[in-house]
Structure 1
Amino acid sequence: MSKYIKIALSIGCSIVLFSSCEKFLDTPPQGKYTEDTYPFPEGGSPYDRFVFSAYNDLRSYNVHVDGFVNATSIRSDDADKGSTASDGGADVISMDNFPVLATSGRANALWLGYLGLVNQSNRAIYQIDSISKQNQDEQMMQQSIAEARFLRGYAYFTLVRLFGRVPKFDKWASDPATQNNIPQSTAAELYAFIEEDLKFAAQNLPDSWDSKFAGRATKGAANGILAKAYITQKKWQQAYDAANTVKNSGLYDLSQNYSDIFSEKGENGRESVFEIQGTASADETTKNGIQYANLQGVRGSGNWNLGWGWNTPSTALEAAYEPGDPRKARTILYSSVTGKPGLSIYNETMPTYPSEVPNPMYNHKTLSDPALRNSVSRGSWWMNVRILRYADVVLMLAESANELGKSEEARSLLNSVRERARRGGASGVLPDVTDTDQSTLRNKIRHERRIELAMEHDRFFDLVRWGTAQSALHAAGKTNFQNSRDVLLPIPQTQIDLTKGVLTQNPGY
């Protein structure tokens, strides 16, 4: 629990903002250090101060909070907007029910947020290069550039899945307005750029970091996101190879109890391939954290005034679980109803629906420890965000193996995820899959991805790449969805106007 007491020069703070970190860092005031005297900790490098500014953007509201949750989860069949019917207005309601308008503030915020992360990554590369001649450690320099390129590759991978065509920026712009004359690159061009960045990162990043650097990118993170980029393009052999590299590293496994993964004690464990770090204390409740859990917290009163109540599990997701699957209880937090109390993972009695809370279900994976809620804040800004778990890598490996005709390997990998899931459950639940037919196994792997990764921001993108988005969303009641339009967000009209038409709109909008 030390992360809630202090940060030892970690990802949670951008070192260019000492004023926001003084309570957590034992350092002199800002301005006392020069490039030559900056005392980077053992295991770090003189380039850390540049890379950390880019890492800091991961916690941005426009990167992994509001628009992110809306576009990656609420748009899917596994989640609904939640809260009250009118909360969020048309901007959020359209994310749930389609179509998203070109004037959407959330779409524009995502555009700005992720291209901002790109620019910060490019800035870090520029800064590293600008002082590299003063330092002789070539390996350290390449490693730092690899971190920046990992973040840039991740940002573009998110952008291409959200918007399809976006401008490709490979150089830092001190004034982003100077980039308004750059047209969009095609998805194919962007994927080539993403692959190049992630392969460089995989070659130059370390296998792991000292615990004081929790959250920094590793070879496993780079290969894992690379596998996801390949599998999105149906590059099955490349996806198989990248995912297999993560598996064969021996650094990750499925030993963590599923229920523990999403708690504070489960952060950065053996299951974690890449997650965004948040921290908070009673003195600094938000500045060094991320609002991700707060946005999804139970919308109640008193002790249950935990957040906005957005991104609630859907009845379609609820119905998708096999009987007795223990993962359901850790994913869906049921409100109490008359005669049937709902209990949290911490054995708390939930408020009653509909008299005390507006929704019958909430996201259980984002519920924080009540001891910390009572001692730090009810906002839960310290909760980490899981971007890539090892189970996701295993299921990508199973999917690509099946598409390559390796049915026995695919089945074994699938069953390893099911075996972990049934631990602690009733006898006989989640039996091993015995099918070896490719088509049947494909559907079972897809089902397992839905359940294992529920509410973790993969479902919408999975439906799109499988070509099943329209049928699945219509079955869940989101009948306004049109495959010809809604697989991508609109290019924000604000950005089209700023570039005087250099940017062009996506089809259907």
Structure 2
Amino acid sequence: MKSVNNIRTRFVIFIAMLAAFGLTGCKKNFLDSEPQGRYTTDNYPFPGGSGPYDQYLFAAYASLRDYNVHVTPFVAVTSIRSDDADKGSTPSDGGADAQGMDNFPVTPSNGLANALWTGYYNLISKCNIALDQIANNSAIDATPAIKAQSEAEARFIRGYAYFMLVRSFGRVPLVDKIYADAVAQSNIPQSSAAVIYDFIEKDLQFAAANLPPAWDPKFVGRITSGAANGMLAKVYLTQQKWAAAMTTANLVITSGQYDLSTPYTKIFGEDGENSRESVFEVQGTADATFPTAYGIQYASIQGVRGTGVWDLGWGWNDPSTYLEAAYETGDPRKDRTILYSGGTTVYGEAVPSGLPNPRYNHKVYSSLAIRNSVGSRYSYWMNIRILRYADVVLMYAEAANESGNTQAAIDKLELVRARARGTNNTILPKVTTTDPNLLRDAIRKERRIELAMEHDRFFDLVRWGIAAATLQAAGKTNFNNGRDNLLPIPQTQIDLSKGVLTQNPGY
């Protein structure tokens, strides 16, 4: 975690300075510590406790911060398409590309869809370069254990990238090696979703078997076996492989590395980063000297769209009235998720009334004190929570219910509700129904509320088979079930392939 009053060494992953062998990085903390992530006489050619392939692995880690990987295209595809969020800002902001994501259809010419495609294939390319070095660079001396661990890191990131692609586009090209030129790579035909899922499973299984359960604190943010098993559980869940999902989620639960001790109000702030709740976070950092270069624009595009000290970003990805109405009475997670114009922040700051949008994403809000300490309003330093422990617990609950393990499902569901309830026993009563259909509804609702604005809702609706009914009821009446569960294959990519790639149905 980071704090304006807690200066300690942080491991932050920067391709810019690592590839250049000596450019300075930037500290995660905001005061007077040395910039992290640069080579010195003490850690050259690689930091102690790490490995000789770091310069290649860090290129992949750093691409997790890329605009096309985890910023506007990602937010649009995972959240704005859902019933939990509106595009926000002004109606014309973002043009037809943004409007298509919000209200459908997303056309084959949509720039955000093409950006997501190119961003994740660039990420895959970085992983394949690292894997090629590990397998073939005889000039690098490494033990079999270090080779396996390094391969596991690259394969986790590659598996995650393909998981995003297959959920977003369905059939996609399977690129598992380095190609001599871009033309050769662009002419690879699509593989079926089943083939892609099998490939993802193998990558994540290898990662889970060869990664450590935890790293030295100076390497905070590096992939662990828990992250690999947690992501693998979600891959199984998406395919309705209930027994495998339950077993794999349980490996995370019983690992002893994670728990629900971090209060919900704290998880999403700077002091909640890399907590016991964190299974996989993308690491960002910033200070007055480097306010954006080593950070992530993710929070900025969702920041309050105001003036002066309240000009915090674009105002995109705003909680919808449908999400607002979904909370049970008194649920404290609502206030930590929805920031109201004219309301109060989690830090006790008064929000001005009359802002362009009535609601903003409170989970990406940074306090005025931290913004002042960095000398920036735009929160590039905030991490992205890709996979939280509560998500894993709810995956277990869902898989258990679908497998007929009703009591196990109830018990895991209660863990999440109990954390949200805290000491207030007048709210969020324990779910006790043993009817599997009613319990299924309760678990689905809990996923929506616990993980609101966190990149799962649209994909959940699709895998549950209720996307059309839910989104049309939420006013997204253009949603077509035979078309909009998947994005179109970008026309730009079809053209580059000279027709090797084919379009998804309905477009």
Is TM more than 0.5 here? Answer: yes
C-alpha displacement of 1:9: 4.9
Q: Which residue of 1 aligns with 2:413?
A: 414
Q: Which amino acid aligns with 1:508?
A: G
C-alpha displacement of 1:215: 1.0
Q: Which residue of 2 aligns with 1:122?
A: 128
Change (3 A) 1:5 1:57: farther
Q: Which residue of 2 aligns with 1:100?
A: 106
Q: Structure 2: how far apart are the matches of 1:279 and 1:5?
A: 14
Q: Which amino acid aligns with 1:344?
A: T
Q: Which moved more, 1:60-69 or 1:175-184?
A: 175-184
Q: Does 1:219 align with 2:225?
A: yes
The answer as to whether partners of 2:494 and 2:501 remain within 8 angstroms in 1 is: yes
C-alpha displacement of 1:417: 0.3
Counterparts of 1:417-436 in structure 2 under 5 Å? 417-423=416-422, 426-436=424-434
The answer as to whether partners of 1:119 and 1:173 remain within 8 angstroms in 2 is: no
Counterparts of 1:29-68 in structure 2 under 5 Å? 38-68=44-74
Q: Deviations over 1:251-307 (max 9, x none)?
A: 100011001000000000000000000000000000000000000000000010000
Identity %: 61
Q: Structure 1: how far apart are the matches of 2:67 and 2:74?
A: 9
Q: Which residue of 2 aligns with 1:346?
A: 347
| Moved segments of 4+, more than 6 Å | 2-7
SS at match of 1:483: coil
Q: Structure 1: how far apart are the matches of 2:268 and 2:37?
A: 30
Q: Which moved more, 1:365-374 or 1:314-323?
A: 365-374
Q: Which of 268, 271, 280 is 1:265 aligned to?
A: 271
Q: Which amino acid aligns with 2:152?
A: A
Change (3 A) 1:296 1:5: farther
SS at match of 1:177: helix
Q: Does 1:381 align with 2:380?
A: yes
Q: Does 1:11 align with 2:13?
A: yes
The answer as to whether partners of 2:249 and 2:396 remain within 8 angstroms in 1 is: yes
Q: Which amino acid aligns with 2:309?
A: N
Q: Structure 2: how far apart are the matches of 1:308 and 1:482?
A: 29
Q: Which amino acid aligns with 1:289?
A: G
Q: Which residue of 2 aligns with 1:339?
A: none
Q: Which residue of 2 aligns with 1:75?
A: 81
Structure 2: which 5+ runs fail to align? 27-33
C-alpha displacement of 1:369: 2.4
Change (3 A) 1:16 1:432: same
Counterparts of 1:200-219 in structure 2 under 5 Å? 200-219=206-225
C-alpha displacement of 1:40: 1.6
Q: Which residue of 1 aligns with 2:491?
A: 493
Q: Deviations over 1:302-343 (max 9, x none)?
A: 01000000000000000000000000000000111xxxxx10
Structure 1: which 5+ runs fail to align? 337-341
Change (3 A) 1:492 1:136: closer
Q: Structure 2: how far apart are the matches of 1:359 and 1:503?
A: 40
The answer as to whether partners of 2:24 and 2:36 remain within 8 angstroms in 1 is: no
Q: Deviations over 1:433-485 (max 9, x none)?
A: 11011111001000000000000000000000000001110111111001100
Change (3 A) 1:166 1:486: same
C-alpha displacement of 1:176: 2.7
Q: Which moved more, 1:155-164 or 1:370-379?
A: 370-379
Q: Does 1:315 align with 2:321?
A: yes
C-alpha displacement of 1:181: 1.7
Q: Which residue of 1 aligns with 2:361?
A: 363
Q: Which residue of 1 aligns with 2:397?
A: 398
Q: Which amino acid aligns with 2:23?
A: S
Counterparts of 1:127-142 in structure 2 under 5 Å? 127-131=133-137, 134-142=140-148
Q: Which residue of 2 aligns with 1:24?
A: 35
Change (3 A) 1:13 1:123: closer
Change (3 A) 1:312 1:175: same
Q: Deviations over 1:332-370 (max 9, x none)?
A: 00111xxxxx101111111212xxx21000000000122
Q: Deviations over 1:384-433 (max 9, x none)?
A: 00000000000000000001100001000001100000115x44100111
Q: Structure 2: how far apart are the matches of 1:225 and 1:271?
A: 15
SS at match of 2:19: coil
TM-score (norm 1): 0.94
Q: Which residue of 1 aligns with 2:31?
A: none
The answer as to whether partners of 1:64 and 1:292 remain within 8 angstroms in 2 is: yes
Q: Which residue of 2 aligns with 1:88?
A: 94
SS at match of 1:280: coil
Q: Which amino acid aligns with 2:12?
A: S
Q: Which residue of 1 aligns with 2:29?
A: none
Change (3 A) 1:28 1:421: closer
C-alpha displacement of 1:87: 0.7
SS at match of 1:448: helix
SS at match of 1:497: helix
Change (3 A) 1:163 1:26: closer
Change (3 A) 1:391 1:181: same
The answer as to whether partners of 2:11 and 2:220 remain within 8 angstroms in 1 is: no
**CA-atom RMSD in angstroms:** 1.8
Change (3 A) 1:251 1:28: closer
Q: Which amino acid aligns with 1:447?
A: K
The answer as to whether partners of 2:15 and 2:55 remain within 8 angstroms in 1 is: no
C-alpha displacement of 1:129: 2.0
TM-score (norm 2): 0.94
Q: Which amino acid aligns with 1:21?
A: G
The answer as to whether partners of 1:226 and 1:242 remain within 8 angstroms in 2 is: yes
Change (3 A) 1:8 1:258: closer
C-alpha displacement of 1:28: 6.1
Q: Structure 2: how far apart are the matches of 1:2 and 1:470?
A: 43
Q: Structure 2: how far apart are the matches of 1:318 and 1:234?
A: 29
The answer as to whether partners of 1:6 and 1:25 remain within 8 angstroms in 2 is: no
C-alpha displacement of 1:19: 3.2
C-alpha displacement of 1:6: 8.5
Q: Which amino acid aligns with 1:383?
A: M
Counterparts of 1:431-450 in structure 2 under 5 Å? 431-450=429-448
Q: Structure 2: how far apart are the matches of 1:7 and 1:460?
A: 38
Change (3 A) 1:380 1:26: closer
Q: Structure 1: how far apart are the matches of 2:155 and 2:142?
A: 21
Q: Which residue of 1 aligns with 2:282?
A: 276
